Structure 1
Amino acid sequence: MLIASPDTIAAIVQQIPRGRVLRLGDLRATLAVTHGATYTCPMTTGIFLRMLAEDVDRAGTGDDMPWWRVVRDDGALLDRLPGGTAAQQRRLERDGVVVPTAKRLRVAAVADLSWRPDDARPSASVTNGLPTAP
């Protein structure tokens, strides 16, 4: 199991293109594959993502580190990031990502908008950040 650092998370998050999102499971799977691990700890990944987002938000350098482009696996927005789901929704919509207003905010068509670094794609399929047999 990989315990990712804020720096390893930042290295991936800063690559997310405008108009795309990265699912947490794909973030964890990419980290695991990149570092030769079976899987990445979901708890510490979430904590370090939040710390990264808070630091960037406080410093006012958010455009270089688009933390708001990370969403739950089902497209739901993350309420523990700076400003909560409302701030994440505003930033995603500024990027051109549709977030319909509903009881629980989700990115519309999350499967179509999902992004993952090409060089870190595992050869086996991945479910919830855990590699599965091909």
Structure 2
Amino acid sequence: MPKSWTEKFAHPPKPSVSKLGKPYAGHGEGEKMLIPTPAVVAAYVAKIPTGESRTMPQLRDDLAAAHRADFTCPLTAGIFLRIASELAWEQHQNGKPLSEITPFWRAVDLKSPMAKKLACGVDFILKQRRREGIA
């Protein structure tokens, strides 16, 4: 049976910073890469003020700086944003008000492939962004 969003959210339990042994994602050997967690990504998104948004590159840069890394792994950052988003949507569907879930619509790009995959649908993200005045 597939893992629930709650189970996926709990793994990995801690962020890690590793030195690259070889080039990866446009970064060179010896650079420090952050592998965040879904919880770290969700905490970052939760701090985005109402009416503001962040791009994925901004999110990755901010997380890297906060963890004294040169960059954040683009693959895991995207996966973990999706996990945080799906969990938030699941929580909302189970009765949690929007004010108590991770406001993922502030970090999910409407044009991204991920936006089209989310259970909430692109229309929900668009509605929330418009409600907050996010272009």
Shorter chain as normaliser: what TM range?
0.5 to 0.7
Work out the CA distance in 2 between the residues paired with 1:71 and 1:51: 12
Q: Show the counterpart of 1:51.
A: 83
CA RMSD of aligned residues (A): 1.7
Number of positions where the alignment pairs a residue of Structure 1 with one of Structure 2: 96
Q: Describe the shift of the 1:54–1:46 C-alpha distance in structure 2 as closer, same or farther (beyond 3 A).
A: same
The 5-angstrom pairing of residues 1-134 of structure 1 reads 1-60=33-92, 61=96, 62-64=98-100, 65-72=102-109, 76=111, 78-98=115-135
> Which amino acid is the alignment partner of residue 121 of structure 2?
G
- The alignment-based identity, stated in percent, is 35
Structure 2: how far apart are the matches of 1:55 and 1:46? 14
Q: Which piece of structure 1 moves more, 60-69 or 38-47?
A: 60-69
Encode CA deviations 1:72-125: one digit per residue, 9 max, x unaligned. 4xx745323332322210111111223xxxxxxxxxxxxxxxxxxxxxxxxxxx
The runs of 5 or more residues in structure 2 that have no matched partner are 1-32
2:36 partner letter: A
Gap regions ≥5 residues in structure 1: 99-134
Which structure has the larger Rg over C-alpha atoms?
A: 2
Question: Aligned equivalents of 1:96 and 1:38: distance in 2?
Answer: 32
Q: Which has the higher contact order (CA 8 A, sep 6+)?
A: 1
Counterpart AA for 1:20: E
Offset at residue 21 of structure 1 (A): 0.5
- Quick check: which one's helix share is greater? 2
CA–CA separation in structure 2 for the residues paired with 1:53 and 1:63: 14
Give CA deviations for 1:2-28 in whole Å, capped at 9, x if unaligned: 111011111110011111101100000
* TM-score where L is the length of structure 1: 0.64
Letter in 2 for 1:19: G
TM-score, normalised to structure 2, is 0.64
Conserved in 2, the CA contact under 8 Å of 1:53 and 1:82? no
Q: What amino acid is aligned across from residue 8 of structure 1 in structure 2?
A: V
